[in-house]
C-alpha cells in the first residue's frame, strides 16, 4: 500500500486475466474479418450468464448463447431480450450494441475525457483518417497485437511494435485525428473546431512524451511527497 505497483495500468492487467471468453481482444477470427456478422459469430460462442423471466434472474450454466438458442434452457427459449442482455455481458475492448462502444479508456481525468472522445471522432468520422490509420497499421499480425496487448499494462507507451515505440505510433494517431477534426469543420459558438479538445492529450503525448500514469508516478515521487490527498485532488472530478 502506498507504493508503485509496477503497472502503468493495473486495470488493463487485471482484465487480461479475467474471463478470456468474454473480455480483452475479440479474437483472431474477427481480427482477420472485422464485420458485424463475424462479431455475431463471436458473441454466439460466448457463454451466457443469465436470462430474465417474470422479473426473476435465471442463471444459465455451461452453455454458449448458440447452444441456448438451439436447445433452450429449463423450458425457456431464446428471445431478443436475452440476446441484448447477453451482449451487455461481453467486456471486450470494443463492444457492439446498437452502437459501437470503445471501452479501453475508462477512468480518465475529467480534463482528458473530451480528448478521448475527440481523438476517436477525428479518426472514425473521416474517411481520409481511416485510410491513414489503416496504412499506419498495415501488416500488423494477430500475434503482434496480442503480444502488445499484454505488454502495455507494464510498459505503456514505451512498449514497441515492430521495433517502433508505441509512443511514436500514438503521436501519429493524434496527428491523424487532429487533421480529421479539422476536416470535419464542426465549430463551437466561439468559432473553435473540435480539434481544440485534443490539446491536453497532445501536450501530454507529443510534448511531454508521457502517459497519464507516468505523470502520476512522477508527481507521487516528487511534488506530492506521496500524499494520498494530493492524488485524490488530482484525480477528482
2: left (phi over 0), alpha (psi -120 to 50) or beta: left
pTM for the structure as a whole: 0.87
Are residues 118 and 197 in contact, defined by beta-carbon separation less than 8 angstroms? yes
pLDDT at 213: 92
d(CA 233, CA 237): 9
Residue 135 has pLDDT above 90, yes or no: yes
Q: What is the pLDDT of residue 3?
A: 77
The reported pLDDT for the residue numbered 27 is 80
> Is residue 136 over pLDDT 80?
yes
Cα separation, 169 vs 163, in Å, equals 11
pLDDT in tens, 77-130: 999 999 999 999 999 999 988 888 998 887 788 889 999 999 999 999 999 999
User: What is the per-residue pLDDT across 10-61, written as a single tens digit (0 to 9) for each?
Assistant: 999 998 999 989 999 888 878 888 889 999 999 999 999 999 999 999 999 9
Strand partners, 209: none
176-211, pLDDT tens digit by residue?
999 999 999 999 999 999 999 999 999 999 999 999
pLDDT at 214: 94
Distance between CA 22 and CA 89 in Å, rounded?
Answer: 8
Which pLDDT belongs to residue 105?
82
pLDDT of residue 218: 94
Residue-level pLDDT at 198: 96
Measured distance CA(234)–CA(220) in Å, rounded: 11
> How high is the pLDDT of residue 108?
83
Q: Where does the pLDDT of residue 151 fall: very low under 50, low under 70, confident under 90, or very high at 90 and above?
A: very high
The mean pLDDT of 147-157, rounded to a whole number, is: 95
pLDDT at 125: 96
Which sequence spans correspond to the domains of the chain?
23-102, 105-235
pLDDT at 118: 96
Amino acid at each position: 500500500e502506498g507504493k508503485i505497483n509496477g503497472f502503468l495500468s493495473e486495470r488493463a492487467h487485471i482484465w487480461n486475466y479475467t474471463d478470456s471468453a468474454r473480455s480483452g481482444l475479440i479474437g483472431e477470427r474477427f481480427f482477420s474479418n472485422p464485420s458485424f456478422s463475424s462479431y455475431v459469430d463471436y458473441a454466439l460462442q460466448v457463454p451466457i450468464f443469465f436470462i430474465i423471466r417474470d422479473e426473476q434472474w435465471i442463471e444459465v450454466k455451461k452453455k454458449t448463447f448458440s447452444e441456448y438458442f438451439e436447445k433452450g434452457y429449463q423450458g425457456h427459449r431464446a428471445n431478443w431480450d436475452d440476446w441484448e442482455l447477453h451482449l451487455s455481458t461481453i467486456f471486450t475492448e470494443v463492444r457492439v450494441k446498437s452502437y459501437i462502444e470503445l471501452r479501453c479508456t475508462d477512468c480518465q481525468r475529467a480534463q482528458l475525457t473530451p480528448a478521448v472522445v475527440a481523438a476517436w471522432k477525428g479518426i472514425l468520422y473521416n474517411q481520409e483518417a481511416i485510410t491513414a490509420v489503416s496504412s499506419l497499421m498495415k501488416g500488423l499480425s494477430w500475434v503482434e497485437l496480442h503480444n502488445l496487448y499484454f505488454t502495455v499494462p507494464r510498459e505503456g507507451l514505451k512498449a514497441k511494435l515492430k521495433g517502433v515505440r508505441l509512443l511514436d505510433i500514438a503521436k501519429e494517431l493524434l496527428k491523424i485525428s487532429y487533421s480529421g477534426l479539422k476536416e470535419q469543420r464542426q465549430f463551437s459558438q466561439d468559432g473553435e473546431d473540435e480539434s481544440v479538445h485534443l490539446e491536453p492529450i497532445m501536450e501530454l503525448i507529443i510534448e511531454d512524451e508521457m502517459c497519464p500514469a507516468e505523470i502520476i508516478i512522477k508527481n507521487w515521487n516528487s511534488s506530492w511527497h506521496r500524499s494520498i490527498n494530493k492524488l485524490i485532488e488530482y484525480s477528482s472530478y
